[in-house]
Amino acid sequence: MKNNIVETIMGAIVLVVTGSFLYFAFNHSKASSSDGYILTAKFDKIDGLSVGGDIKISGINVGVITGYSLDADTFMAVVEMKINSSIKLPEDTFAKITSEGLLGGNYLVLDPGGSDEYLEDGGEITETQGSVDFLRLLDKFAGGSDDDNKDKK
């Protein structure tokens, strides 16, 4: 009987520690941050981009990707993002999707322009560059594309 009480107490301690870790993680996650404003941008390709992904300026996190959808008229990917309210972006800001490395995930990079007008909540970044397909680039570098091989025949 004494052995069961010790096991029960140890189990309770493990549950309390686990709960405290979950509480800490939830309170310090990017998703729980509510301070910021929403912007959108349209891209031709968003391969590898995910909800909750980073948005960086000069390598510093300034926001998070909150969602994406397909524009039924233009068939472009519409990315919704939340930017920290302390960051004011000019209207001519350029957004591009870049990779963390050859095997890393993709994230969104913002290059602020020099305009005196600033984007407001609900605004749209119009200058964009979609993700680059590294496998296609590697294929072109290694042996050429299928289009090149057709021309040789």
CA distance 89 to 112: 6
pTM above 0.85, yes or no: no
Whether residue 20 is found in the same domain as residue 79: no
Gyration radius of the chain over CA positions: 23
Based on the fold, state whether residues 102 and 130 are members of the same structural domain.
yes
- Domain range enclosing 97: 35-140
The 10s digit of each residue's pLDDT in 73-84 is 999 999 999 999
- Does 147 map to a domain? no
Is 91 part of any domain?
Answer: yes
Tokens 């302390």 locate to 86
User: What CA–CA distance (Å, rounded) separates 88 from 76?
Assistant: 26
* SS3 assignment, position 106: strand
Residues 112-133: pLDDT tens digits?
988 899 999 999 999 888 877 6
Residue 21 included in any domain = yes
Distance CA 37, CA 63 (A): 9
pLDDT tens column, 6-65: 889 999 999 999 999 888 887 766 554 568 899 999 999 888 888 888 899 998 999 999
